[in-house]
Structure 1
């Protein structure tokens, strides 16, 4: 007898469950006809017109699709989940074979009309004709809109490639101010559970909030981004610095080789190529600031020009006729020595140390134009190498 009661109860439960989900297309078609009879989608949802309609939103970020600093184009893929209650769309499930929810096209019901206000090209709103809205028997509506959003994001490239950026998606509900609609976010942050990591940008923080803009209800989704700079260090900053420093070693080439000017000009052109690459990547604007990297490379190029001029000057020193005396100021600055010891290698004897007056007279005879060129090259090498290193250190001190 106990087993019979158990099976009877189990059968009853199965019948209830079956009857709950056993509605057919005819039942759903009848529900649609009844719901949309005399339904006006132009009227805002909410029976009590003295209070604003409560709309709840959340944003799920899927991917950072593109961020072009030169054109200020920022593209992300994400989903807005928006919910509200429209009492006109409520029904009694018992009258429709226990239907508790259904799907309908977004163009059939009233929607919170959110339009993007910082588009990259054309202005557009949330959703499309392909999007469906979940409708529940108590009138609750859940609108899930997955889109690719293209907006304008002006990049601050001052510290490029060690820069941080803030980009936002900005929407406004035209026609509905704070007295008509109250938008709140279930989470003050962007939800990243489905986010696919970007190889170029790291998301440091996010924000999602509503606000009042010109008496209209607005929505802002903000992303704080940090550039992943490893590639730029290995592929841009270090190579262009090494090429620039290489130009200093032009002073180590012999003047008689005839390759000094050609080597210096070639390295200078390589620095100009790096400058062109950077200009192609950065926006053509001076606000808020020009990239410090651009100033660094400009310093490299400027110093390269000076090095090239010094090489030409050194070459001229080298080919001056020996019959032309070396000016005194060059002897003092480049060739002057306090004393001189000459060793007779044939006999192994050493000449006495000359007095200061005799030493200066001897120096005037022994300091040739080739000696001037060698001393000039030595000082230019040390000075240029120090200046290149100083520029590099100043750059990293400013950006880090």
Structure 2
């Protein structure tokens, strides 16, 4: 009997709890009508007008879309979570079938509107008409916005591709100063819980704070990034250095082959191609500084041009019979060493050469005399 009574009591309690907690669309519709009757969304939230409204804000970084150094374009995907309290939107849950929370469109209530301060194109605010705001029975409002942001971020490419960049997202609460809004952050960092790692940039540090030195409150989110340089070392630095080193071996080619000029010009063109690839990635500005890599590649090209000119001059002197000037003997060192490497002739060899030369001269002389004598006999006849 006691067991049956206990089971009945438990079922009755569950039924009462279910009946109290359950509500339908009619109850929620009545709640909305009561909340927004005579509600003016032009007025700032907060009953005590002598104190600023406390607004808690958190920014969660989702992903870095792109960072174009040439145009100073920096775009990210992120989520804002903004919380404040509006006593006009509070209710007694017992009067509405224990409704604890509901959702409304963002254009129906007052919002701590923020506009991006450093836009890449056009300035825009947060959210859209599709975004809903959570309302709780104590008047708390939770505004969650997922959005893409494109801002201007000037790149410092002095140490490219081993550079570090600093970019910031700035939002201004235009129309509200510190006497109206008190923006706080649960943490001084950007939320990285849902962040997806970028293949090009590594985030070293973040910061979140607000400033209000003069005029409206400005919310700032900072990102300190470091470039992942492995790809650039493998595809730019190593091939570029290899071409520069290989270009210096042009004087080992024999001048008789005629390949010196072609080889030096080919290596020079390869350096120019690398310079073109780097210029496409770097911004077209001289401030704050020019990339050291650009100066290095310019030095490679200058050295290649000097070597090409030296090869042309050495080839020109090689085909001439005039003696090589002393200031160009270094360039034609290969030809000079060939001459110097020949062993000196002995006296016996020199005498035999002279005898051969004398015999050949005698034979030529006798041949000429015979030709003349024969011509004289022909004329007599």
Same fold (TM over 0.5): yes
**Secondary structure in structure 1 of the residue aligned to 2:212:** strand
Aligned residue number for residue 45 of structure 1: 45
Aligned residue number for residue 119 of structure 1: 119
Aligned residue number for residue 269 of structure 2: 269
Structure 2 distance, partners of 1:206, 1:256, is: 64
Contact 2:106 2:131 in 1 (8 A): yes
Number of matched residues?
342
**Secondary structure in structure 2 of the residue aligned to 1:172:** strand
Q: TM (normalized to structure 2)?
A: 0.85
Q: In the TM superposition, what whole-angstrom CA distance separates every residue of 1:214-270 from its partner, at most 9, and x where no partner exists?
A: 321110111111000000000111111111222112111110111111111111011
Contact 1:21 1:99 in 2 (8 A): yes
Q: CA RMSD in A?
A: 2.3
**Secondary structure in structure 2 of the residue aligned to 1:208:** strand
- Computing the radius of gyration from Cα coordinates, the structure with the larger value is 2
Structure 1 distance, partners of 2:326, 2:237, is: 44
Contact 1:19 1:98 in 2 (8 A): no
Contact 2:317 2:324 in 1 (8 A): no
Structure 2 distance, partners of 1:72, 1:329, is: 51
**Secondary structure in structure 2 of the residue aligned to 1:236:** helix
Aligned residue number for residue 62 of structure 1: 62
Shift of residue 186, structure 1, vs aligned partner: 0.8
Aligned residue number for residue 144 of structure 1: 144
Aligned residue number for residue 203 of structure 1: 203
For the pair 1:193 / 2:188, whether they are aligned, the reply is no
Structure 2 distance, partners of 1:141, 1:332, is: 83
Q: In the TM superposition, what whole-angstrom CA distance separates every residue of 1:119-176 from its partner, at most 9, and x where no partner exists?
A: 1101000111111000000000000000011111111111111010011110010110
Aligned residue number for residue 34 of structure 1: 34
Contact 1:20 1:99 in 2 (8 A): no
Q: TM (normalized to structure 1)?
A: 0.81
Structure 2 distance, partners of 1:330, 1:94, is: 103
Q: In the TM superposition, what whole-angstrom CA distance separates every residue of 1:308-347 from its partner, at most 9, and x where no partner exists?
A: 11111221332231xx4455677799779xx9995889x9
Residue correspondence of structure 1 range 157-176 to structure 2 within 5 A = 157-176=157-176
Runs of 4+ in structure 1 deviating by more than 3 angstroms, as ranges, are 324-336, 339-345
Shift of residue 3, structure 1, vs aligned partner: 2.0
Aligned residue number for residue 218 of structure 2: 218
**Secondary structure in structure 2 of the residue aligned to 1:67:** strand
Structure 2 distance, partners of 1:151, 1:94, is: 47
Aligned residue number for residue 91 of structure 2: 91
Shift of residue 83, structure 1, vs aligned partner: 0.1
Structure 2 distance, partners of 1:340, 1:10, is: 115
Contact 2:118 2:170 in 1 (8 A): yes
